[in-house]
Amino acid sequence: MNAKELSNGLLRTIFILLGVSALFYLLYALFSLIIYIVIAIVIALMANPIVKFLNQRLKFKNTIAVITTLILFLLMIVGFVFLFVPLILKQGDNLSLLDISSLEANYNRLMENLTLFLSSYNIDLQSILNPSQYTSSFNFNFVSKIFNNIVGILGNLGMGLFSVLFITFFLLSEKHSIFNGFKFVLPDDQEAKVLNSIQKIRDLLSRYFLGLLLQLFIILILYLVVFLIFGVENSFIIALLCAILNIIPYIGPLLGMLVASVLIMLSGMQMDFVTETLPKTLYVLIGLIIVQLIDNNVNQPLIFSKSTKSHPLEIFLVILAAGILLGITGMIIAVPVYTSLKVIGKEFLPENKIIKALTKKM
């Protein structure tokens, strides 16, 4: 290899590295826009069946159907605000007046009560958790920091909502133009396969996200019923938080139970720990476990298996693998990405034995 070839190869490598660096910087700089587009795609997938119903059954023009659907989404948001924001603001006022030192004292007292209770069963909590170390290193000022950040989040919410709805409108109203746009950049021999893949992915993910939304609503109601039965303070706030955490497969429900348990015990510090607070927490946990059994045996098989045409064990292994590789984010996106890959595999590799076995229900 002469000096000229070596220098050309070096320059090519430098240009490739610069191009990759520029691409990553561009993705970083446009991260908010990418998030808006992803959210808009998810909303468009959920709204597509409604638009199709208005088009085909009620004979609405496409633009009118899209506008009507987006108005329905906005009305749902407004209804949620008018129903629940007064309650949330009330709890926010309580939290904004929260004495951080009082919260820390309650935490310390909770750890002391747990230590005394477990010591009666010859369990040394100090040797397991070392509560004094946790207490000394745990900073409760994060509570005030959270509320300071809420104002900034709300400031960006209006712009984000407008951007998402604007993008969603064009994804729904111009979907045929988007499909036609693909035709100009796709090779003729691959055009039909790519367009068929996009159509099937859109239909499957529409059912999946609508099912996920239904699951979230059902879980919220069931959690709320459990908390109201046992007189848990801030029932709706805790139920909503647990329902949102439930979106994270397998780990989310456990996190929800942990959060609910801690909040219930902290709110019951004025009561006797052994005879009142602890039994109440255990009863709530039993109720949450029953809700999870209902969700795991009724909701999830219907949503994951039927909407994505995949076996429950298959879904479990995919989510587990994605969690190992990409953490919680991987677990959340595992099912939509895997479903998309299955559709693409069936279109482009229909004779492959593995693809045949995985896509036989599609």
Predicted confidence at residue 131, as pLDDT, reads 46
User: What's the average model confidence in pLDDT over 20-33?
Assistant: 84
Residue 110 has pLDDT above 90, yes or no: no
Residue 81 has pLDDT above 50, yes or no: yes
- Domain annotation covers residue 288: yes
- Domain annotation covers residue 154: no
Domain span including residue 290:
187-362
- Domain annotation covers residue 247: yes
Q: 151-209: per-residue pLDDT in tens? A: 555 556 677 788 888 888 888 888 777 777 777 777 777 778 888 888 888 888 888 88
Backbone φ and ψ of 351, nearest 5° = -95, -5
Residue 274 has pLDDT above 80, yes or no: no
Domains held by the chain: number: 1
User: What's the average model confidence in pLDDT over 123-138?
Assistant: 52
- Domain annotation covers residue 253: yes
- Domain annotation covers residue 7: no
Using pLDDT thresholds of 50, 70 and 90, give the confidence band for residue 241.
confident
Could you give the CA distance from residue 225 to residue 23 in angstroms, rounded to a whole number? 49
- Domain annotation covers residue 297: yes
- Domain annotation covers residue 163: no
Counting every residue written for the chain, the total comes to: 362
Q: 281-293: per-residue pLDDT in tens? A: 899 999 999 999 8
